[in-house]
Amino acid sequence: MKRMFRLLFPVCLIFFITACAGDGNVASTGEGRGGALTEYYGVADEMPMPKRALQAPVADVEQSGEAINNLDVVDPKIIREGGVTFQTPDLKQTRIFLDSLIQRYKAYVVNDDQYKFDDRIEQRLVIRVPADGFDALVGELERNVERFDSRTISARDVTEEFLDVSLRIQIKKETEKRYRDILARAKTVKDILEVERYLGRIRTEIESLEGRLKYLENRISFSTLTVTFYELKPEAVGFSSQFSVALKNGWNNFMLFILWGVSLWPFIIAGLVLLLILFVIAGRRKRAG
C-alpha cells in the first residue's frame, strides 16, 4: 500500500503543478490583450480588441446622474391643439377678419383649403399661433362669432418625453466625446476605421434625437388651431331650394339602398329558396294529414 502511495504521489503532484501553470498562462494571455490596449489607448473597455468587435463606451451610473443633474429644471411642456366650426354670412369678410387676427397674434397659416358643396362653400384654415397667444386668439374669435357648430380644445403634456430626449442627447454627446478622444490616440488603421464607424453611428443617433427635440419644441412653442367656416349658397336659404335639395338627397339615398340590396343578392336568393322548401314541406304535411 505504501509502495503504491509512493508511486502515485509524484504523479499527482506533477499533474497539479501542470494544471496551475496552464491557468496562469491563460490569465497572462488575457492580461496581455487587455493590458496592452490599456497602456496603448488608456481605455481598456472602450477600444476594439484585436479579435472582437468594439463595444460602445457608455456613460456609467455616476455620469448619468451628473447628466440628469445638469439638465435645467423646465416648466411643463404642453402641446395645445383646437378646432372650431361656424357659419358666416360673408365668407370674404370672415377671411379678412381672420387674417387680421393672424397678423395681430403673429401667427401663420400652414393649410388653406376651400370646398364647394351643393348647399354651401366651406373654407378651412390650419393656423399655428404662439402658445402664449392661443387663448387670447380663441377668446377673440368667440366674441366675434355668433354660434359655433363645434369647438374642441385639447392639451397634451410632453414634459417627460422632452426631458428624456434631452437627457439621451447629453449622454450620447458624452459618449461621442469619449470616442473622439480614443480616435485621437488610435495608431492603427483598423482601430481608426472601427472607431470612425461607431462615431458615424452615434452621430446619426444624436441628429435623430435632436430632430425629435426640435419637433417637440416647435409644437410646444406654437399651438395649432383649425378654423372651419362656411357660407350657405343663396339658393340653399329659401324653402323651395331646401325642399329640392332634400328631394335630391332622398333620391340619392334611395338609390344607395337599391345598390345595397343588390349587393345582398346571394342572401336574398338563399332566403327565397329556403321559403320555397318550407312551403313545399308544409303542403305535403297538409295533404298527408
Q: How confident is the model at residue 32 (pLDDT cuts 50, 70, 90)?
A: very low
CATH number at residue 117: 3.30.70
Per-residue pLDDT of 48-99, as tens digits, reads: 433 333 444 544 444 445 555 555 556 899 999 999 999 999 999 999 999 9
On whether the CB atoms of residues 220 and 79 are closer than 8 A, the answer is yes
**Is residue 3 pLDDT above 60, yes or no?**
no
pTM of the model: 0.57
Q: How many CB atoms lie within 10 A of CB 149?
A: 12
Per-residue pLDDT of 191-221, as tens digits, reads: 899 999 999 999 999 999 999 999 999 999 9
Which residues form the domain of 137? 78-159+221-235
Pairing mode of beta strands 78-87, 222-232: parallel
Q: Is residue 196 part of a domain?
A: no
Instruction: List the one residue out of 140, 103, 110, 139 whose CA is nearest residue 127.
Output: 110
Q: Is residue 147 part of a domain?
A: yes
Instruction: List the one residue out of 131, 217, 123, 204 whose CA is nearest residue 169.
Output: 204
Q: Is residue 86 part of a domain?
A: yes
Q: Is residue 275 part of a domain?
A: no
Q: How confident is the model at residue 245 (pLDDT cuts 50, 70, 90)?
A: low
Pairing mode of beta strands 120-130, 222-232: antiparallel
On whether the CB atoms of residues 180 and 199 are closer than 8 A, the answer is yes
Higher pLDDT, 44 or 252: 252
Residue 213 pLDDT? 95
> Measured between alpha carbons, how far is residue 158 from residues 70, 132, 220, 225 in Å?
20, 17, 9, 19
Q: How confident is the model at residue 235 (pLDDT cuts 50, 70, 90)?
A: low
Q: Is residue 279 part of a domain?
A: no
**Is residue 270 pLDDT above 90, yes or no?**
no
On whether the CB atoms of residues 54 and 199 are closer than 8 A, the answer is no
Domain count across the chain: 1
Higher pLDDT, 249 or 232: 232
Instruction: Note the residue count of the chain.
Output: 289
**Is residue 31 pLDDT above 90, yes or no?**
no
Residue for cell digits 334611395? 254
Cα–Cα distance between 87 and 231 in angstroms, integer?
A: 6
Q: Is residue 110 part of a domain?
A: yes
Per-residue pLDDT of 102-126, as tens digits, reads: 999 999 999 999 999 888 999 999 9
Q: Is residue 267 part of a domain?
A: no
Q: Is residue 88 part of a domain?
A: yes
Share of residues in the chain with pLDDT > 90 (%)? 51
Per-residue pLDDT of 123-165, as tens digits, reads: 999 999 999 999 999 999 999 998 999 999 999 999 999 999 9
Residue 155 pLDDT? 95
Residue 40 pLDDT? 40
On whether the CB atoms of residues 140 and 101 are closer than 8 A, the answer is yes
**Is residue 243 pLDDT above 70, yes or no?**
no
- Residue 15 has which C-alpha cell? 499533474
Cα–Cα distance between 25 and 14 in angstroms, integer?
A: 17
On whether the CB atoms of residues 94 and 239 are closer than 8 A, the answer is no
Cα–Cα distance between 156 and 170 in angstroms, integer?
A: 25
